[in-house]
Amino acid sequence: MSTDAIKTVTGSADAGGASPSPPPRRKRRVGQSRVVTSVLAQGEPMLWLTGGGLVLACVMIVGLLTLVFWQGLRTFWPTPVVSLTTLDGRTVWGEVTREDAFEPDPSLLAGLDAGALAAAESAMAAGEGRLRRRLVRSGNFELTAEHFNWVSDHDLAPDGESYPEWALVLERLSWGRFFGEPVAYLVDGEITTDQPAAVWAEFQRHHPDVRERFAKQRHLETHAVARLNHRLEQARLAARKAELDHGPDSPQWLAADLAARNVEVELSQAFGDLTRQIEELRAENRRHTLRLRTGDGNETDIALGDIVRAYPANRINTGEKLRLYISRWKEYLTGEPREANSEGGVYPAIFGTVVMTLIMTVLVVPFGVLAALYLREYAKAGPMVSIVRISINNLAGVPSIVFGVFGLGFFSYIVGGAMDQAFFAAKLPNPTFGTGGLLWASLTLALLTLPVVIVATEEALAAVPGSMREGSYACGASKWQTIQRIVLPRAMPGIMTGTILAMARGAGEVAPLMLVGAVKLAPELPIDGVPPFIHLERSFMHLGFHIYDLGFQSQNSEAAKPMVFTTTLLLIGIITALNLAAIWLRTRLRRKFVASQF
């Protein structure tokens, strides 16, 4: 058989489906260099680079979360009270918040006397040439005008460190914490007992009743008096409205003014009764006083009504520490802030954050979905649609403070001012909606997160296969019926993804809220028992703004630092809870409708 015939048969066999023979390996001639493929051409360095970037990002995120969790969870754990006596005879009582080591300057050592120098050299020998110092939260601000003190080991007197058995820690309504030893328990100025154990037993017996009376007093001040003030204000506004509508000295104004005077006379007696009840509760609480001796020997009297919580820090066991830890967390989650937000609870901030985020979500999702539906399903491609898409993408990159300025100018001053002129003219010049409030903050953040929802919804709509639309049209459905029954249900998981991203960003924004409603202290909730019960015009507290205030506006930054981590942990937890709820809903929708994941 000829060579051509052999080639023909081989080609026919290959065409008939037989596996082709491997190409002949090229033999390298002697002296010919080997062909080397570049490592970059194979992409292995980029694989390692991208993988390393991912690992680095994960390590940074995990490290940040670990720091926040560790610092946030340990904030409320009680620590012992230490007594430090320095060489000059000064005694400091308090809780050690942190310690560090430093290399002393030669001039510092040169200025020490012989005893202090020997102590410093001994401490440096033990610390490998470094000295240790501790930051002690000493409290007692009204006596010392200091919240914290640095104490170095080389300044300590021999046997100058101890843990007093009956050192009490008092958490108060004002002036911060107090550290002292119980000396006596007084009722109406008379000492009933002067032994530490008996004084502590008397305190434990009477303090719950004192706190209960204080709670009644606060309820009367914040709720009962508020209802009376609301009735009086409504009567006054009715008279003012009659004056604006019908003019002064008109019959309508005279009738409204007479009604307002009658309401004032009626409520004056109620105000007197409430004031008398409040004063009786205060007087009863003032009867009980605790006398304490500080570390430097001074004695002071503190009313039990001013004490929120007290405990002997060096006598409690682990179980009592755990109960105290839980009690502090309960107060933090359900109470009102005190001591310039550095102590107490953050319940108003939790409520404001959650309500604002939910209102923002309810406002932004319908508008974002409608806008995306029009752009994807109805609008024809052209210059105008391109400009709109470019504008939406550009809005996502606008700094958030710009949205805050827009919200303040448009929503608060223009829209809110017009509403005040139309519906609340009697209250002017005091604005109702013409200033920052919960509603305007929610609308501002809705504008801020609108591009996120639009882009995510468009991508979700584009992921729905066109064959489903064609099948719906073939069955006689209209365009809206197709969108309503075919497209939207299958795009809902993607829409929920956009909602999750919008909620996460909106809940963490702070800069716009500083202009349109968030304030340092607003214990009154936007929902209460006073008509109209829902007050969207009120200012509110927000956890993000609370963190900013604690970190940068607190006069006692060291005491506020642990609260910064705790509030950050709480904000992360709330955002995570909201996102998990949305993810759960998205998962259910994804199981119900077969659609491409987005």
Rounded CA-CA distance 246/252 in Å is: 7
Convert the pLDDT of each residue in 318-350 to its tens digit: 999 999 999 999 999 999 888 778 888 999 999
The torsion angle over the Cα atoms of residues 264, 266, 269 and 271, rounded to 10 degrees, is: -50
- Report the number of secondary-structure helices (H) and strands (E) in the chain: 21, 13
Give the pLDDT of residue 8: 44
Q: How far is CA 382 from CA 295, 379, 387, in A?
A: 80, 9, 9
Q: How far is CA 236 from CA 232, 265, 469, 497, in A?
A: 6, 13, 62, 50
Give the pLDDT of residue 528: 78
Taking a C-beta distance cutoff of 8 angstroms, is the pair 170, 177 a contact? yes
Average pLDDT, rounded, for the chain? 86
Q: Where does the pLDDT of residue 14 fall: very low under 50, low under 70, confident under 90, or very high at 90 and above?
A: very low
The domains of the chain are located at 82-163, 180-338, 347-592
The average pLDDT across 10-27 equals 47
Give the pair of three-digit tokens for residue 496: 């929920």
Distance of CA 592 to the CA centre of its chain: 35
Q: What residue has token string 């199981």?
A: 591
Buried b (16+ CB within 10 A) or exposed e, 14-52: eeeeeeeeeeeeeeeeeeeeeeeeeeeeeeeeeeeeeee
Taking a C-beta distance cutoff of 8 angstroms, is the pair 464, 491 a contact? yes
- Of all residues in the chain, what percent carry a pLDDT higher than 90? 50
Of 376, 333, 363, which is closest to residue 351 (Cα–Cα)? 333
Give the pLDDT of residue 546: 92
Rounded CA-CA distance 526/559 in Å is: 29
Rounded CA-CA distance 342/344 in Å is: 7
Please state the pTM of the whole predicted model: 0.84
What percent of the chain is helix, strand and coil (3-state, nearest 5)? 60, 15, 25
Give the pair of three-digit tokens for residue 533: 């019960």
Residue 399 burial (CB count, 10 A)? 10
The angle subtended at Cα 177 by Cα 176 and Cα 178, nearest 5°, is 125
Task: Tell me the fold of 347-592.
Answer: MetI-like fold (1.10.3720)
Which segments within 103-199 are labelled E, that is strand? 131-137, 148-152, 156-162, 168-172, 177-187, 190-193
Of 390, 172, 400, which is closest to residue 290 (Cα–Cα)? 172
Q: How far is CA 286 from CA 282, 308, 473, in A?
A: 6, 14, 80
Give the pLDDT of residue 4: 47
Give the pLDDT of residue 3: 44
Tell me which amino acid residue 523 is.
P
Of 297, 317, 321, 300, which is closest to residue 309 (Cα–Cα)? 321
- Of all residues in the chain, what percent carry a pLDDT higher than 70? 89
Residue 106 burial (CB count, 10 A)? 8
Q: Report the range of poorest mean pLDDT among 123-132, 234-243, 428-437, 524-533.
A: 123-132
> Which DSSP state fits 518?
B
pLDDT at 5 over 80: no
Convert the pLDDT of each residue in 135-174 to its tens digit: 999 889 888 888 888 888 878 888 889 999 999 999 999 8
Rounded CA-CA distance 418/424 in Å is: 9
Q: 452 CB contacts (<8 Å, ≥6 apart)?
A: 368, 396, 498, 501, 502, 505
pLDDT at 9 over 50: no
